[in-house]
Chain A
Amino acid sequence: MNKEIEKLLFNPIRLKTISFLMTVETCNFKALLEITDSTKGNLSIQLKKLNEAGLIKIEKYFQKSYPTTDYSITKKGKSSFEEFYKQLISYK
């Protein structure tokens, strides 16, 4: 497995984010804050890192003139998580 991805998912906030996004189609920032139980600033940084690695997709748009951001997992993110999970299970 790619060492960089393994290192990325070693962080609990990033791991929880990817795990949650595996089970949903899209999700907003507020829901991710509740799931990861982290601060806004910290979560933003972790999401940016996941996006830069190509594991998640960030879509920004306006809804009723308010800026909204949707997060979803990419194909690369799905396959990376599956590989990571298989590896975790095999260690168990």
Chain B
Amino acid sequence: MTKQEQLNAINDAIKQTKTNLKPLGFNLTFWSIVIISMSLFHYFFPEIVQYSYYSAVIYWVSIPLLGMIYTTYYNIKSGIKIGYETQLDRVIRIIWAVFGLAWIFTVGISLLYNVNPVQDILFLLGIVLIMTGLIIKFHNITIGGIGLLIFTVYTYYNPGLNLLLVNVIGISFGMLIPGLSLYFPKADFMLHYFHVVEEEEEL
């Protein structure tokens, strides 16, 4: 092996390291759909969810916990498929794990003091989205996080707002749209959507 061949071998190996952002896009999209569906169901069928105090608690704790188990399984599986973890992957994983712990803590405190945790969770989510967007240099997520943060601050000054609808609007703009745009890389997800629609119409 000549010196040049050795340098080429090093460059080839380094070039093959890519941070795969698709799992993060999947996680954001998955959680957005779960939370939006849960909020809408609660909004339209309050008599079922709020049948008793504990039924609402069980509803808002058990489904997200099942979601956590599923996303943990998905992340382990996608990690095995990709085969390696970069430093960036590790940082993102730790940030979202800390958010998960903060979510459990916030829900626990809200149960103890009988307060609604929606605004606190949205505030935390906004901060974590901004951090993630800045770290991976993906503007859609940063803008989504900033939007979510502004929206959450607005709700603090307007206490009459329905927090379930706040959840739906905040998560849609702050998490669902950025998550979808990350899941469909290179192109804007709306362009991807229109392309799919056009193809279906042609058929």
Name A's B-contacting residues (CB within 8 A): 9-10, 12, 15-17, 19-20, 22-28, 30-32, 34-36, 63, 68, 85, 88-89, 91-92
Contact of A25 among B7, B13, B90 (CB under 8 A): B90
The A interface, classified by DSSP as helix, strand, loop or mixed, is helix
Query: What residues on B are CB-neighbors of A31 within 8 Å?
Result: 82-84
B4 to A, closest residue via Cβ: A92
Q: Say yes or no: is B87 at the interface (Cβ < 8 Å to chain A).
A: yes
**A12 to B86, Cβ gap below 8 A?**
no
Residue of chain B at shortest CB distance from A37: B12
Chain A CB within 10 Å, residue with most, of B16, B76, B84: B84
Q: Tell me the minimal C-beta distance from B91 to chain A in angstroms.
A: 10
Tell me the complex Cα distance, A32–B17, Å: 11
Contact call B87/A25, Cβ cutoff below 8 A = yes
Task: Count A-B contacts at CB 8 Å.
Answer: 72
**Distance from A65 Cβ to chain B, minimum over Cβ atoms (Å):** 14
- Kindly identify, within residues 70 to 100 of chain B, every residue whose CB is under 8 Å from any CB belonging to chain A: 76, 80, 82-87, 89-90
State whether the Cβ of B3 lies closer than 8 Å to any Cβ in chain A: yes
Residue in A20, A26, A30, A91 whose CB lies within 8 Å of B16: A20
A27 contacts B83, CB within 8 Å? yes
Residues A25 and B86 in contact in the complex (CB < 8 Å), given A19-B9, A88-B6: yes
The answer to whether B9 and A88 have CB atoms under 8 Å apart is: no
Enumerate chain A residues within 8 angstroms of B82, measured Cβ to Cβ. 31
Interface 1/0 per residue, B40-78 and A, CB below 8 Å: 000000000000000000000000000000000000100
Smallest Cβ-Cβ distance to B73: which chain A residue: A64
What would 17 A/B residue contacts be, using CB atoms closer than 8 Å?
A10-B6, A15-B1, A16-B12, A16-B13, A19-B10, A20-B13, A20-B84, A23-B14, A25-B86, A27-B85, A28-B83, A31-B84, A35-B16, A68-B80, A85-B10, A88-B7, A88-B10
In whole angstroms, what is the CA distance A63 to B10 when docked?
A: 31
Is the CB–CB distance between A63 and B80 below 8 Å? Answer: yes
Which residues of the other chain, A, contact B84 by a CB distance below 8 angstroms?
Answer: 20, 24-28, 31
- Return the chain B residue nearest A14 by Cβ: B9
> Which residue on chain B has the smallest CB distance to residue A87?
B3
Chain A residues with Cβ below 8 Å from B14 are 19-20, 22-23
The residue from A15, A30, A34 contacting B10, defined by CB atoms under 8 A apart? A15
